[in-house]
Amino acid sequence: MKIAVIGTGYVGLVTGTCFAETGNRVICCDIDEEKIEGLNLGRMPIYEPGLETLVDKNTKQGRLRFTTNIKEAVRASDVIFIAVGTPMSRTGNADLSFVKEAAETIGKHLNGYKIIVNKSTVPVGTGRLVASIVRHHAKGNVAFDVVSNPEFLREGEAVRDTMQMERAVIGTDSSRAFEIMEEIHRPFRTKIIHTSIETAEMIKYAANAFLATKLSFINDIALICERVGADVDQVSEGIGADSRIGKSFLQAGIGYGGSCFPKDTAALHYLAKINGFDFKMLEAAIETNFRQREDFVAKIEKTLGSLEGKVISVLGLSFKPNTNDVRYAPSLDVIPMLREKGAMVKAFDPAAISRAKRQLGYQCSYTDDIYEAIQNTDACAILTDWDEVKSLDLNKVKNLLKEPVIIDGRNVFDLDVMAQLGFTYVSIGRPAVT
């Protein structure tokens, strides 16, 4: 199959590469010239385990290429995936300007029957909107079908999540398009769920809203645990062992971030509102998530006293480990809050410094040496559970810190171990070690 992928970000690059790996001829395109130039020189724009090897292999074998010439990519392909960003707009709704632009480009260059697949996360109704834009710009009577095929990959595990996808949702009312989509997905040997376009679009928002709510639920339970002397990690283990509940997304912590949950929960909340439904439960989940950041900073303040003139090492800038993505990362909220309270911040991250710098600028100093970040600071604040954090030599940390104080937003360390080592250790939803 000849495939074009419009938008070579986390989703587009991984999807395009995996489709090449399964034998298709794929052109990944983007309007970002620097990104495409870099990819053509073998430079990865994102940090994603296993991706570079696959890109290298498939470009060398001639199945994968990169271009800014979207017109040529559209004309040369049978199936065109839209994988552009859909960021949060000021109203909370998804900003569809990139999707509309991609649809317009596709419409202008249609030269025969094509399947236009929307992989970007979009509000219900966008598939029909894409169809109307394409139709408007297509010259003559060119046939095409629009499919909604939402993406469920997780950053940091994106290649594995694609090569071993748990399900593919294919939303279309065209049997011709469905059969071709089924064929593309056959090598992944995955469960196919065939729905209407609208239902497919809703599945993606419902999935993310559910996971975000699950996280906020356990974070609320964590705060109650702190008040009553229970341990939220054991509560999670206890309830997660029940197959009706499941153990994933029950890790209490500083709250979710990333390019998906914050914007997708906001967009679903907006979609409900404009359709006359007050989605109170989702609103509460969103509020709880922000409260976790505030509560974390309050924990630091409660432990250290006034933060004026204190130096805090922040461990982790990316919103989760194994990615350099800092979109809506806890660090972007927590560091300004610490600064506002008069603290100085030394930040560590193994992959996300350059992206974080674009957002945080000079609000903190940066290093990719974890011990350098910790040295001579009043406390460590753990925001991302990178392996470098989990494998810290705690005796060394104790010697480097002015006082042995760790405030942990990811519940990385064992309470008994921290007590034995003599740390003041405050985590989320577990008894504090003092």
- Residues ≥6 apart with Cβ < 8 Å to 97: none
CB–CB of 148/120 below 8 Å?
A: no
Select from 77-85, 162-170, 190-198, 288-296 the region that touches ligand NAD (CB under 6 A).
Answer: 77-85
| DSSP-derived secondary structure letter, 431 | P
Q: Which of 19, 47, 98, 423 binds ligand NAD (CB under 6 A)?
A: 98
Q: Which of 28, 102, 202, 317 binds ligand NAD (CB under 6 A)?
A: 102
CA dihedral 95, 13, 130, 100 (to 10 degrees): 40
Annotated ligand binding at 396? The verdict is no
Residue with smaller CB distance to ligand NAD, 41 or 228: 41
User: What is the total residue count of the chain?
Assistant: 434
167-171 and 191-195 as β-strands: parallel, antiparallel, unpaired?
Answer: parallel
Burial of 407 (0-12, 13-18, 19+ CB in 10 A): buried
Q: Which of 3, 4, 9, 303 binds ligand NAD (CB under 6 A)?
A: 9
Annotated ligand binding at 401? The verdict is no
Q: Which of 3, 6, 203, 211 binds ligand NAD (CB under 6 A)?
A: 6
Contact map string, positions 209 to 228, toward ligand NAD, x by CB under 6 A: --------------------
Strands (E), 359-408: 365-367, 379-382, 405-408
> Considering the rule CB under 6 A, would residue 67 count as an interface residue with ligand NAD?
no
Closest C-alpha among 434, 431, 429 to residue 295:
429
**Which residues within the stretch 150-169 sit at the binding site for ligand NAD (CB under 6 A)?**
151, 153, 155
Give min distance, CB of 71 to ligand NAD, in A.
11
> Considering the rule CB under 6 A, would residue 30 count as an interface residue with ligand NAD?
yes
Query: What's CA 253's distance to the chain center, in Å?
Result: 16
Strands (E), 282-404: 311-315, 344-348, 365-367, 379-382
Please tell me the distance from the alpha carbon of residue 386 to that of residue 315, in angstroms, as a whole number: 9
> Considering the rule CB under 6 A, would residue 48 count as an interface residue with ligand NAD?
no
Residue 260 appears among annotated catalytic residues? yes
Query: What's CA 252's distance to the chain center, in Å?
Result: 18
> Considering the rule CB under 6 A, would residue 12 count as an interface residue with ligand NAD?
yes
Residue with smaller CB distance to ligand NAD, 259 or 303: 259
Axis crossing angle, helix 126-137 with helix 97-108, rounded to the nearest 10: 40
Q: Which of 24, 59, 86, 148 binds ligand NAD (CB under 6 A)?
A: 86
Annotated ligand binding at 121? The verdict is yes
Give min distance, CB of 28 to ligand NAD, in A.
9
> Considering the rule CB under 6 A, would residue 324 count as an interface residue with ligand NAD?
no
Residue with smaller CB distance to ligand NAD, 16 or 409: 16
Annotated ligand binding at 252? The verdict is yes
- Residues ≥6 apart with Cβ < 8 Å to 24: 1, 2, 3, 63, 184
| Count of Cβ atoms closer than 10 Å to residue 90 Cβ | 6
Give min distance, CB of 73 to ligand NAD, in A.
9
Q: Which of 118, 120, 162, 427 binds ligand NAD (CB under 6 A)?
A: 120
Annotated ligand binding at 67? The verdict is no
Please tell me the distance from the alpha carbon of residue 386 to that of residue 389, in angstroms, as a whole number: 5
Please tell me the distance from the alpha carbon of residue 196 to that of residue 209, in angstroms, as a whole number: 20
| DSSP-derived secondary structure letter, 316 | -
Of 29, 260, 364, 380, the active-site residue reads: 260
Give min distance, CB of 433 to ligand NAD, in A.
35
Annotated ligand binding at 176? The verdict is no
- Which residues sit in the known binding site? 30, 35, 86, 121, 152-155, 204, 249-253, 257, 263, 320, 327
Catalytic sites, residue numbers: 260
- Which residues sit in the known binding site for substrate? 152-155, 204, 249-253, 257, 320
Site of interaction with ligand NAD (CB under 6 A) = 6-12, 29-32, 35, 70, 83-86, 98, 101-102, 120-121, 151, 153, 155, 259-260
